[in-house]
């Protein structure tokens, strides 16, 4: 019975608690599918981030800070050296990204397909630890590109979930995000962007919009309209300025964050 209790403790609690409870004894190696005395489906294993999660890509529970309520995320563990927590994913036109402020705040979609994790979760994650960001994209010619940023953070709602990030020296796409450093998040029902236009309404999606009336190659629109006919309409589709801009619509995008090493 002591062995069984240790197994359950190892599955549920942190390593530090296991050492405290069991005098530093290592966790036993077990088969989750075959152990006859444990209902593993009733056990929720919670990690601090995808860095601590198993090496297989999938959905896991995380709690980014002590006493923080856990929530589910998708961890990409097999590409780009793994340990990436996906915060935005778009694969097809089945999910509308032109959503309200509250929907972007709390998140929407399906973690296995198209989704936005949620601004509040992004704030919790990036204020509890230091993260880097990687943006991965693919166009309709099947060309894949990425760009990596350091010190990615999202402030709280009182600051309209403004964006903070630095250094975009690693990647193949070219920088089209640093221009939004310090910008507030906007949705069609809550415009916080520079200029007189409601950029979220014009660009058909919530984002850290700058001034959408300015044509700048350093801009992007990852939450814009998914164009099935591959035609951009006034810049409202999915595009990345330095990866072909509005003339190179994207069919796949992913925004992923990873704990800084």
At 101-138, the pLDDT tens digits run 999 999 999 999 999 999 999 999 999 999 999 999 99
Q: Which of 190, 186, 168, 187 is nearest to 177 (CA)?
A: 168
pLDDT digits (tens, 9 = 90+) for 161-217: 999 999 888 999 999 999 999 999 999 999 999 988 899 999 999 999 988 877 666
- In order of 4, 74, 199, 204, 217, the CA distances from 194 in angstroms are 59, 33, 9, 17, 17
What whole-number distance in Å separates Cα of residue 238 and Cα of residue 251? 8
What whole-number distance in Å separates Cα of residue 123 and Cα of residue 120? 5
Residue scoring higher pLDDT (89 or 232) = 89
pLDDT given for residue 210 in this prediction: 86
What whole-number distance in Å separates Cα of residue 120 and Cα of residue 104? 9
Q: Please give the structure tokens belonging to residue 54.
A: 């198993």
On the question of pLDDT at 8 being above 80, the answer is no
Can you point out the beta strands (E) in 141-243? 144-154, 163-171, 220-221, 239-240
138 CB-contact burial (10 Å; exposed 0-12 / middle 13-18 / buried 19+): middle
Fold topology of 45-259: Gamma Fibrinogen; Chain A, domain 1 (3.90.215)
pLDDT given for residue 199 in this prediction: 92
Q: Which of 184, 257, 187, 255 is nearest to 222 (CA)?
A: 255
Beta strand 46-47 with 58-62 is: parallel
pLDDT given for residue 227 in this prediction: 81
Q: Is the pTM of this model over 0.85?
A: no
pLDDT given for residue 44 in this prediction: 80
pLDDT given for residue 211 in this prediction: 86
Band (pLDDT 50/70/90 cuts) for residue 230 is low
pLDDT given for residue 59 in this prediction: 98
Place of tokens 């990615």: 152
pLDDT digits (tens, 9 = 90+) for 43-84: 789 999 999 999 999 999 999 988 889 999 999 999 999 999
On the question of pLDDT at 85 being above 90, the answer is yes
- In order of 20, 83, 146, 147, the CA distances from 80 in angstroms are 35, 9, 10, 12
pLDDT given for residue 14 in this prediction: 43
What whole-number distance in Å separates Cα of residue 245 and Cα of residue 252? 15
Beta carbons within 8 Å of 86's beta carbon, 6+ residues apart: 73, 74, 75, 76, 111, 117, 254, 255, 256
Place of tokens 């006859």: 36
pLDDT given for residue 16 in this prediction: 38
Question: What is the residue extent of each domain of the chain?
Answer: 1-43, 45-259
């Amino acid at each position: 019975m002591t062995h069984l209790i240790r197994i359950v403790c190892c599955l549920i609690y942190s390593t530090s608690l296991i050492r405290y409870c069991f005098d530093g004894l290592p966790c036993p190696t077990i088969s989750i599918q075959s152990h006859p005395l444990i209902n593993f489906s009733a056990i929720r294993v919670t990690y601090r981030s995808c860095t601590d999660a198993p090496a297989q890509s999938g959905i896991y529970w995380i709690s980014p800070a002590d006493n923080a309520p856990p929530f589910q995320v998708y961890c990409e563990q097999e590409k780009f050296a793994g340990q990436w927590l996906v915060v935005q994913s778009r694969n097809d036109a089945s999910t509308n990204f032109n959503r309200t402020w509250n929907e972007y705040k709390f998140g929407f979609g399906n973690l296995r397909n198209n989704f936005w994790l949620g601004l509040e979760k992004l704030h919790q994650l990036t204020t509890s630890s230091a993260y880097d960001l990687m943006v991965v994209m693919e166009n309709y010619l099947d060309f894949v590109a990425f760009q990596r940023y350091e010190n990615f953070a999202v402030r709280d709602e009182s600051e309209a979930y403004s964006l903070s990030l630095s250094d975009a020296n690693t990647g193949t796409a070219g920088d089209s995000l640093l221009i939004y450093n310090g910008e507030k998040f906007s949705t069609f029902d809550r415009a916080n962007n520079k200029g007189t236009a409601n950029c979220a309404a014009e660009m058909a999606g919530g984002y850290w919009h700058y001034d959408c009336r300015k044509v700048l190659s350093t801009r992007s629109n990852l939450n814009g309209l998914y164009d099935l006919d591959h035609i951009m309409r006034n810049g409202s589709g999915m595009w990345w300025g330095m990866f072909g801009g509005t003339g190179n619509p994207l069919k796949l995008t992913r925004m992923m964050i990873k704990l800084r090493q």
